[in-house]
Structure 1
Amino acid sequence: MPLDQLVTRFQQQTPIRASSLIITLYGDAIEPHGGTVWLGSLIQLLEPMGINERLIRTSIFRLTKEGWLSAEKVGRRSYYSLTGTGRRRFEKAFKRVYSSSVPAWDGSWCLVVLSQLPQDKRKQVREELEWQGFGAISPTVLANPRCERADVTATLQELDALEDSIVFETGSQDVLASKALRMQVRESWHIDELGEHYSEFIKLFRPLWQALREQENLQPADCFLARTLLIHEYRKLLLRDPQLPDELLPGDWEGRAARQLCRNIYRLIYAKAEEWLNAALETADGPLPDAGENFYQRFGGLK
């Protein structure tokens, strides 16, 4: 069964990235139901993943220390919720996962010139901006076809680099992507390497999609495991993906097929996975509250 292979593959990662999986679980499954669960029920839920109780407790402790989660004790039980900061970080990261399409692009660019920054500061700023989707088109010039000027300003201010950076914005253009520009994008954003990661995702999850479609009675526990691993792997890919406009990407871009596959699997199994979550997880008031309306808008609509 492809699902068993995916679970085994996850377990064989050394070290097992339990914190990262717990973040996926909170963002995908717990946040839509109010964002708070009893630690004991979380431990039971993740057991089939091969993550033992000690590792879950350590990971939860680390996420609390890093400001993602906060704990509340009721009697002898601990309940963990997303903090306000944690929730904001989630919304930013997970919005991209479930969006149904990439917004249209008018051909405008934001350019940040770092030539006046000291060498050590330049490296720091470059890394942070690349993480936000910028690509280096020369050693001191970073570019992004989609960005909010306010976000760039805030980032540069946080890094104490605003005074020594130069920010340009270009106007919209009729010719969105010339051959030279597409070649430049391929180099600056390592498009081929990212495409290979998407191909690997498709190879991993296409057999699962085929197996799930052939099953008459999908098991809630299997659907939960499949949904969690699917979103976990897809989220990791999106963290690397600058989400460039379609016009700048190759015609056979694997990112499109990966999104379609992720959406198809999710739509097929989400309801059964919800059954399992509702049965397995507890809050201080008892069962999980119903998922909010936003949940059903994922991937362009689930119902």
Structure 2
Amino acid sequence: MTRTTRITIGVFAPALTLDPAAAPGETAEAARLAEELGFESLWTSDLLTGRCPMLDPLLVLGSAAAVTTRLRLGTAALVPALHPLPGLAQRLATLQYLSGGRLLVGVDAGDSAWARWRGGLKDPTAWRATGNPFEERDARLDEMLSRLPGAMSGEPGRLDPAQPELRLTVPAEVPPLLVGGENEAALERAVRYGDHWFPALASPEWLVEGVDRLREHAEALGRPVPGVTVAQPFGLGDDVERPGGPNPTRTAANAFGLTEERADAMVVEGSPEQAAERIVEFASAGADRIVFSTYDRSWRKQYELLAEAVALLP
């Protein structure tokens, strides 16, 4: 039977946020299980500070690439403004080459709703520690995105006029760019530089409005409308371990400035049947891909329940 719901599903690798005592081999185990269950992609975050120490995203994805053959590998989301361009371009091109072209590069300015959900780089102090002013994050991101594809493809370039030109020679194609954020500047950035717009913590109703705004920016710039990838928290089954008490979505609404209606609608919970219905709602709202992150420590069980939901899609 041909599936009529055209949407791809990815999952986040287990984060130390879930279990600070997690075994080092869990990333590889999660990658193998995600591929075995048929998910399209495995994702990880780029967070320097937060609720707990975070792992380097490209090293995490490198370990996943080594034990899989089909699974795509994504960052959600990389913060290019915190990285020198030549080194970042080389690391991305290397991972793209070693993985056989399976990389998906999600980026944002480091202050998106997803970064706040994961406890990320919203603190200006963390930015100053890396030598990058927090106030310059948007301008620096635009500069990096305008030059990153060229740097990865081997075009000579420099960080500033005082530095010598560098030219990478890694034989890898430029991976798709997914641009996060939800304000007007982020939408324009997604149209200008991205293959996909990559908002997080959306509800289907909010996403419909966002996609309409995305189309308006694309029309104004005379460019194609990017695809749409969303990142959503989930926890399926009757015995889900919820952080922050029985109603974490209201906590998220208060912390991140979301409306309670959007917060209530952004989490995918219940049975696999109910999750399948919610996935269809997101697809109908304009999503081409959903990247799911579980807040339950039993991530293996959650992967399996989510795979059951995907198998039920019409």
TM-score, normalised by the number of residues in structure 2:
0.26
TM-score, normalised by the number of residues in structure 1:
0.26
Q: Higher RCO, 1 or 2 (CA under 8 Å, sep at least 6)?
A: 1
Q: Which has the larger radius of gyration?
A: 1
More helix as a share of residues:
1
